[in-house]
Amino acid sequence: MKLVNKMLKITCLMILMVSYSQVAEANNTAPGAIDFTNESFDSAKQRASEEGKLFFVDFYANWCTPCKWMESTTFKDKEVIKTLNSNYVSIKVDIDTQEGFSIKEKYQISVLPTLLIFNSDGELVERVQETLSRSKMMNLLTFHVHKDAKVVQNHYFNQSPNKDTAIQAPAEEKYKEYRNTNSNKSTYRIQVGDYNNYESALTKVNEIREEFLEEIIVLNDYRDGKVWYRVLMGNFSSESEATSFQVILKRDFQIDSIVY
């Protein structure tokens, strides 16, 4: 009887060890995050070519709400992570840094988010100016993984590979101008509503808070002896940042606004 009990204990222990091993292996192989490289744009693009992979570029800014939404949803999806890590060299480009601004100028990035995909020959094959859900992103990524998709498509501009290093000096000057634009004003906001009663303004504020993470304020304005209420979003350091966000509001959320 003691021998039987001992055998049962050993068997149970072995089952537990196997189960733990399987769970640990699953956890180790499950993708945790997209491997966005810290390399420079040119270095990452070159490595993609050397490894026979596609090159995926995500243009973003810290003030871009749709970019934040994609970061917390689309880029957290396990299939998106697996597909990008297996088939692409991926990089994020912050357009508010000097290098990011140079790349933004070179590829004529005017709205956020914008995604670029290059094939293994370094040719631009896709440009997407849209906030992508998980399903749309997977359709995009899997399409280009297929070998027949690695062809140059029509785009907004012609890319000339031999001009890769020809933009650094003028881009640096443009970046300085970009950061100094309207330096006499420290804060820009987006006006998304103008009401003659507080209840309407509050309703608008509550609607916006369900969709956005941006700062929202209500500013009182006096006209012809009456109080008006401006609903303002964001807290941007330059007019160009505010204008870019204004484009996003109209394009992705059908919200009319003005820069304030």
Catalytic site residue from 64, 93, 95, 190: 64
Report the C-alpha gap between 218 and 233 in whole angstroms.
Answer: 9
State yes or no: is 64 an active-site residue. Answer: yes
Closest among 155, 139, 125, 131 to 56, alpha carbons compared: 125
Active-site hit among 67, 80, 89, 116: 67
Q: Which of 214, 77, 193, 52 is nearest to 132 (CA)?
A: 77
- Strand partners of residue 155: none
Phi, psi (rounded to 5 degrees) for 195: -130, 150
SS3 180: helix
Cis before 161? omega within 30: no
Q: Which residue is it, tokens 């222990």?
A: 13
Three-state SS for 72? helix
Q: How far is CA 84 from CA 31, 37, 221, in A?
A: 10, 12, 50
Residue type, 249: L
How far apart, in Å, are the Cα atoms of 176 and each of 18, 102, 210? 60, 11, 36
Cα–Cα distance, 79 to 179 (Å, whole number): 38
Catalytic site positions: 64, 67
